Amino acid sequence: MKKTIIAFLALAFALALVLPARAQDPAASATTGLSATSATTRSAGPTELTGSAADQQAQSSGQAQNFETKPLRKEIVKLKYVRAQDIQNLLYAYVSREGHIQFNPNMPSILSVSDTPENVEKILAAIREIDVKPADVLYTIQLVLGSETEATTDPELKNDPIVKELGKLLRFKGYTLLDVTLVRTINRESAAVKFGPKAEFELILKPDVAGDAKMPVIKTDVRLRQTQVNSLISDKTTATYKIGPGDLLDIAVFQVPDLNKTVRVAKDGQISVPLLGRVDVAGLTQAGVAQKLTDLWGKSVNDPKVAVVVQEEPTVAKTEVTTLIESTLNIKSGDRTVVGVSKLDGGDKGLILIISAKIVD
């Protein structure tokens, strides 16, 4: 027992001497169990990152790039056929947050564009598609008068296929060509022309070209109006006209100029004349007033010769405008069609409007 205790103490003493020495030796410490931990630390050195750290760095780098200011390109565009205010809203579909499109109302054909180079290219391409020359439309107009009683047809209409077809559909027996005219206008712009034997008709056309270039369709708003001027001629100068309030009388006495006077009939039907004062003339003709004044003045003037004339009022012209045909039709370029038929004054005659249209360069 004593020997065992002595051996244990001797071993403890030996370890107490050896372990401090090994702790001071770097090479020895590298061989201990701590070497695995040191190796792990060396494998993740300061120049390398774990997976989560690399993701965080990449995200921070992307955010920094987003905050970088991109270079902007500026262009001044001169428009040819459209106005800046008409296309501004369409172009905003291509504009970024940094870009803008501006124009001055006093300069409607100038457009200012500022944006990234790629967006500016898109905007310029859109402008090239929009700012194009509008189509020119040429109309040929024929105004034909149809009659139910007169069977005569003008020679230039006898072989007209449309007139022949109308003869089968309508009750008109004869057709007269009143006028032919040409109207040229650009797409979506109204054009008006006066025509007819007395230029009493006005035609208003507004085209809207649709479809492709090979087979365009010309949608056209058509309005035909007739202007009639009615002259209201006064009948006050006739011998049977009865004079009344408001009429203007021209009174002349031969060789007695002091009695000459132009006077208007008052509301009570009386006039005021020299020497006689007020005289009632309402309901009398011109000759009746002259005779009455002759009798009254004859009492103080030797054999007066009196003439009375009702002054003619200015002719009043009354203009009446009547819409005869109002329609919208689709015409293929080069085609010819009947727009409408309008009765004249409810009688046995009617106006027929025939239109052809084509797109011209």
Helix axes 84-91, 117-130, angle to 10 degrees: 130
Q: Per the domain annotation, does 278 fall within a domain?
A: yes
Residue type, 247: D
Q: Per the domain annotation, does 49 fall within a domain?
A: no
User: 123: which strand partners?
Assistant: none
Q: Per the domain annotation, does 3 fall within a domain?
A: no
Which residue did the predictor score with more confidence, 25 or 266? 266
Supply the pLDDT for residue 232.
Answer: 59
pLDDT tens readout for residues 215-251: 899 999 999 999 987 765 556 667 788 999 989 999 9
Q: Do 199 and 141 share a domain, yes or no? A: yes
pTM over 0.75? The answer is: no
Tell whether the model's pLDDT for residue 351 goes beyond 90.
Answer: yes
Supply the pLDDT for residue 315.
Answer: 57
Q: Per the domain annotation, does 67 fall within a domain?
A: no
Nearest to 77 by CA among 31, 11, 126: 126
Q: Per the domain annotation, does 197 fall within a domain?
A: yes
Q: Per the domain annotation, does 59 fall within a domain?
A: no
Q: Do 153 and 205 share a domain, yes or no? A: yes
Q: Per-residue confidence at 20, pLDDT binned at 50, 70, 90? A: low
Q: Do 142 and 226 share a domain, yes or no? A: yes
Of 86, 112, 130, which residue constitutes the final position of a domain?
A: 130
pLDDT tens readout for residues 35-80: 433 333 344 444 444 445 545 555 555 554 554 567 899 999 999 9
Q: Do 284 and 325 share a domain, yes or no? A: no
Q: Per-residue confidence at 31, pLDDT binned at 50, 70, 90? A: very low
The whole-number average pLDDT for the span 316-327 is 85
Nearest to 353 by CA among 101, 143, 168: 143
Q: Do 104 and 215 share a domain, yes or no? A: no
Q: Per the domain annotation, does 43 fall within a domain?
A: no
CA dist., res. 191 & res. 176, Å (int): 26
Supply the pLDDT for residue 3.
Answer: 55
H/E run at residue 206? strand 201-210
Structural domain harbouring 322: 136-231+318-360
Query: CATH number, domain at 93?
Result: 3.30.1370.120
Cβ(324)–Cβ(330) below 8 Å: no
Count of domains for the chain: 3
Q: Give 355's contacts (C-beta < 8 A, 6+ positions apart).
A: 139, 140, 141, 142, 220, 222, 329, 331, 336, 337, 339
Q: Per the domain annotation, does 52 fall within a domain?
A: no
Q: Per-residue confidence at 359, pLDDT binned at 50, 70, 90? A: very high
